[in-house]
Structure 1
């Protein structure tokens, strides 16, 4: 498996995010202004895109943000999410980042906690889905 990064939102990432967040989970406001400034990562298995995430720096939070972490359904439970997050964290370290934050769905917060993320503040709703900010020092 390989991970490629892009300075634009590639079609492969759009396809994965549409499948996971729009079709599976019912989100409708999937694309935003951060897609234009983010670094996008896509993981491939035999040239098939299977996972994606995006990275950008948020000056207000004084931290890099990892977002839109998505793994196609048939690839879940195979450490794909862990691998793409590790690659994103490595990119952030290489670019001088000392911490990373993400807005995780509460139902998968345990996954992020196993990777060293700590819940920050209160839960909030994003399109009716409970989310919580989480942070990890690198």
Structure 2
């Protein structure tokens, strides 16, 4: 496996395609990708020419950064690529002066975020809010 990690400030087609493969095709989520967000950073991991993992980072105030859309191609799961995406997003947030990273997750994804140092902040209709201090 020859992995390369890239950061983009717009949703390139490979980000959109991988996101749709995982969220729409596998999980049945409709309209799950929003590429209208202006100030997002996207992480994309490739194995050769194949996009295998991605995630998105957005901040409205420069201190709190929201992480969303972390996903890994089915054949590549269990190789800690989701953790690498999360780490790259957190590092980018730190470099931008971020103090906290947050993600709204479903119950089945909660353990992944807990292993990465996030704690449950609150639960709501959209999911469980997970928070991690970056400094």
TM-score > 0.5 by shorter chain: yes
Aligned residues: 132
Deviation string 1:3-35 (CA, Å, 9 cap, x unpaired) is 111111100001110100000001102123653
Asked if the contact 1:99–1:136 (Cα under 8 Å) also holds between the matched residues in 2, the reply is yes
Partners of 2:36 and 2:110 lie apart in 1 by 22
1:95 maps onto 2:91 in alignment = no
Asked if the contact 1:119–1:134 (Cα under 8 Å) also holds between the matched residues in 2, the reply is yes
Specify which of 18, 29, 43 is matched with residue 27 of structure 1. Answer: 29
Change in 2 beyond 3 A, CA 1:77/1:6: same
More helix by share: 1
Partners of 2:35 and 2:76 lie apart in 1 by 28
Match of 2:133 in 1: 137
For the residue of structure 1 that corresponds to 2:108, the secondary structure is helix
TM-score (norm 2): 0.90
Partners of 1:34 and 1:87 lie apart in 2 by 22
TM-score (norm 1): 0.89
Partners of 1:57 and 1:24 lie apart in 2 by 28
Tell me the C-alpha RMSD between the 2 structures: 1.6
Match of 1:84 in 2: 85
Structure 1 residue runs without a partner (length 5+) = 126-130
